[in-house]
Amino acid sequence: MRGRDGIDESESGGIEGPPSPLGSVLRAECTFARLVVGESNRRAYDCARRVVAASARSRITLYLYGGVGVGKTHLAIAVAHAVRARHGDDAVLVVSAARLAAAWAEGGASAAAADRALRGAGLLVVDDVQFLVGTDRARGALQRAVERLRALGGRLVLTCDLPPSETPELSFPTGDDGAAPFHVAEIAAPDAKLRREILLAKAASIGSALAGDVAAFIAEVAPASVRALEGALYRVLAFASTLRVPVSVPIAERALEAWWRTPLPPSFDAVLEVVSREFGVSRRQIRQSARRDRATVLARQVAIYLGRRQGGLTLVEVAAELGCRDHSVAAHAFASLKRRLDVDPELARQIARLERDLGGSRAARAATA
């Protein structure tokens, strides 16, 4: 099947690419053909198509950003699959920023292998570049590699949880000289219509029939990220299979009872918003693990605490939201704040007020769900 720009989508996936020296693979399921497009990701999708259609020496860059689980990695890897299929280009490297940072931090053979892999890339996809914020050595090494790549005419795709305006340390080329196209595209959380279409497409891809009313119910009650939607779908299918009954809305209600009977927790963005307002620290500063001033450290600890307590996130998920390479950082911050609340009544009152604010937001979201 050919897309509107001539990409043969039937050839742009289905087989995982070989691992790179940095351990990444082109996951078979992450293709254009398996991507459901709606208003929340249409611009990102169009920009990704432009990268594929561009010449091999275009120096084009695409910066994709959005929250956790909205499909940034899927779209970036789809570009890699399609470039390999369209151009027969084996010089495609997909790697996580965290893996790169670890290789450069280790030094020696690991750092040398990372450098060699980057030098050989015609298309470089770097996932989760927020992991490089605050890591000067890794950030500088990647920027030098990007400069070499662009000097040779290569293409670059970056994914990040934050917009470029909130990551000025990642001063990648922006195409301001007019010679190298630079596209920035946000992928937002899918709306209700797109969530329903994603569920129907996912069910079809695994050979399960899903009625429209069941998809609509799951789309309404499940958290609004692609990852969470898929988890909800699998839960419903497993529940029906265990009972040996067809999938229906009543069965979905029972499988997802904890979600639809409980008010939706505040998003981590909502947590960051109230913490930023309370402590006078920007959301960008809270996300910057390298900042160690007292106000920022306290705001970050409070955000981690509330993300766990009010947002219902695991510490691993909170760490991912903040771009921490290791969830132990979040665990340490959570424990530190709990100890401080026992001896600091003023801070305890502040936290209680924030929890009330977030509880009100939670009730409002539940009323409109």
Three-state DSSP at 52 gives helix
Q: Do 37 and 163 sit in the same domain of this protein? A: yes
The domain tally of the chain equals 3
What pLDDT score was predicted for residue 13? 46
Tokens coding 56: 């091999």
| pLDDT per residue as tens digits for the range 276-306 | 999 998 888 888 766 678 888 999 999 999 9
Q: Do 14 and 46 sit in the same domain of this protein? A: yes
What pLDDT score was predicted for residue 361? 44
Q: Cβ distance 340 to 351 under 8 Å?
A: no
What pLDDT score was predicted for residue 324? 72
Question: Whole-angstrom Cα distance, residue 147 to residue 262?
Answer: 50
Q: Do 80 and 210 sit in the same domain of this protein? A: no
Q: Do 274 and 160 sit in the same domain of this protein? A: no
Tokens coding 309: 């307590």
Q: Do 345 and 200 sit in the same domain of this protein? A: no
Residues of the chain with pLDDT under 50: 1-15, 21, 360-369
Tokens coding 198: 């994603």
What pLDDT score was predicted for residue 90? 60
Domain boundary among 127, 153, 186: 186
Q: Do 169 and 149 sit in the same domain of this protein? A: yes
User: In CATH, what number is assigned to the domain containing residue 146?
Assistant: 3.40.50.300
Q: Do 72 and 104 sit in the same domain of this protein? A: yes
Q: Do 159 and 278 sit in the same domain of this protein? A: no
Question: Whole-angstrom Cα distance, residue 350 to residue 5?
Answer: 54
Domain of 252 in residue numbering reads as: 192-260
User: In CATH, what number is assigned to the domain containing residue 343?
Assistant: 1.10.1750.10
What pLDDT score was predicted for residue 27? 81
Q: Do 165 and 55 sit in the same domain of this protein? A: yes
Report yes or no on 4 lying in a domain.
Answer: no
Rounded to the nearest 10 degrees, the angle between the axes of helix 97-106 and helix 136-151 is: 110
